[in-house]
Amino acid sequence: MPQFGLEEYARRLARTKEEMMQRRIEVLLITSPENMNYLTGYDAWSFYTHQMVIVALDHQPVWVGRGIDVPCATSTAYLPSSDVIGYPDHYVQSTERHPMEFVAQELDRRGLGNRVVGVEMDNYFFTARCFERLQSSLPNCTFKDGSNLVNWVRIIKSEAEVELIKQAGVIADCAMRAGIDAITPSMRQCDLAARIMQAQITGTESFGGAVPGGLVMGIGPRADAPHLSWTDDPVGSDVVVNIELGGCRARYHAGLARSVYLGTPPGQLRQLAAVVREGMETVLSAIAPGRVCSEMEEVWRNVISRHGLNKSSRIGYSIGLGYPPDWGEHTASLRPGDTTELQPNMIFHVILGMWQGELSFVLSETIRVTEKGCESFSRMPRELFAVS
C-alpha cells in the first residue's frame, strides 16, 4: 500500500500538472526515484535499471519499468494494474535494444507520441543514451527540459511528510548517539560505521529506519574532507572524527552532523566549535517566513567574519524524500544569490562544516520553517564531543 492517502497523491499530481501547464509541457517523463515515489508511492530498490512514471495532462500516471519489478509497483503504488507496465528482460543492459524504445512504443500506444514532452535532463538516472533513444524513437515529439519540476512541487511538505521527517530526526539522533557511545581509539573505522548503520536501520521501538542516502566520516588527517567514507584503520587518538549521517523513515530524511575528539580537544578546536555553535544558533533564530535563503547565509557569514573565518560553500539545502546517492532536493540552498522565499513547512538541512585541516569541525541539524520561526528535529547537544 502507498505511504499516504489517495487525497494527498491527488493534490501532488494536481500541483505537478499546474506546473507542467506553466512550462507548456504536455507529458512529463519522470525518472528520478524520489519523484516517482512522490507522485505514485512507488518504492523499490530497482533504480539501477531504467524505469519511469509518465505524467500526461489528460491521462492518469503510468509506471513503466522492468517486468520483474511489476510486483513492486503493485505492492507500493496506488496505480491500477492497467497503468503498471513491465518491459521484457531482454531490454535490460542490452546492446541491441533500449528500454526507452519500449517507453516510446507505450507513449505511441496511448496517443502521446506527438506531444511536448518534458524530461528530467539533469538527473542521475536519465542518461545521454536514454535521451538519444527517446528522440530517435519519437520523431513527432518536441522535447523540453523538465528538470526539477517535481522537486519544486515537493519543497513545501504536508503535515504527514513533516511527521515522517520528525521521526527520521529521532532516528538520526539515535544513530549519532550510538556512534559517540561506541567510539574508542582502537576501534576500526568500519566497525564504527557498522554501529551507526545498525542504529539507523533499527530505529526505535515505535518505528524502524531504512538505509539512508549516506554516511560519511572524516577522521584525523582526513578530517577536512567532507565526503569521505571510512577505512578499516583504527580511529586513533588525539584526532577529530567528523560524522555526517541521516535518519531515514519511509525514504524521508533528516541529516545530522557532529564532531568528536578522541582525547583532550586543543584550544583552537574548542574556539572553532564555539564560533560555529554561535553561528548555528544565530541562523536558526533568524529563520522566518518571508525571509530569503541568501539572508540566512549572510547572517552566518557575519558571525564567522567577526572571528576572522570564512566559508565558501553553501550552509544548507532543502531536504526530504530521497534515494541514494542523495537526500537533497536540488532546489533551494542557503547561499548567496538564492532568493527563494522561506515558507512554512519547508525543510532544510543546515550544515555548518568548517573544514580546516586536521582541526575541522562540523555541526548540522534538520529544521522546519514554522509560522513564526523554525523547529529543529534534533535533540543532540550542539557541542564538540570529547572521548577520553
pLDDT tens readout for residues 223-259: 999 999 999 999 999 999 999 999 999 999 999 999 9
Structural domain spans, the chain: 6-153, 159-387
pTM confidence score: 0.95
Q: In terms of Cα–Cα distance, which of 302, 1, 300, 11 is closest to 153?
A: 11
Name residue, grid cell 511538505.
157
**Stretch 55-62: mean pLDDT:** 96
Query: How many residues are present in the chain?
Result: 388
Q: Provide the pairing of β-strand 27-30 with 347-351.
A: unpaired
**Stretch 353-379: mean pLDDT:** 96
Residue 223 has a pLDDT of: 93
**Stretch 336-358: mean pLDDT:** 96
Burial 153-189 (b: 16+ CB within 10 A, else e): bbbbbeeebbebbbbbbbbbbbbbbbbbebbeeeeeb
First to last CA, the chain: 48
pLDDT above 70 as % of the chain: 100
Residue 252 has a pLDDT of: 98
**Stretch 277-284: mean pLDDT:** 98
- Give the tens place of pLDDT for each residue, 82-132: 999 999 999 999 999 999 999 999 999 999 999 999 999 999 999 999 999
Q: HSE, CB side, 13 Å, CA atoms: give it for residue 303.
A: 21
Residue 2 has a pLDDT of: 84
CB-CB contact of 299 with 334 (8 Å): no
**Stretch 195-205: mean pLDDT:** 97
3-state SS class at 203: coil
Residue 340 has a pLDDT of: 98
**Alpha-carbon distance values, 302 to 272, 279, 282, 351 (Å):** 15, 9, 10, 16
Torsion of CA 99, 101, 103, 105, to 10 degrees: -140
CATH T-level assignment (fold) for domain 159-387 = Creatine Amidinohydrolase (3.90.230)
| pLDDT for 1 beyond 80 | no
Q: The CATH number of 6-153 is which of 3.40.350.10, 2.60.120.10, 2.30.30.240, 3.40.50.970?
A: 3.40.350.10
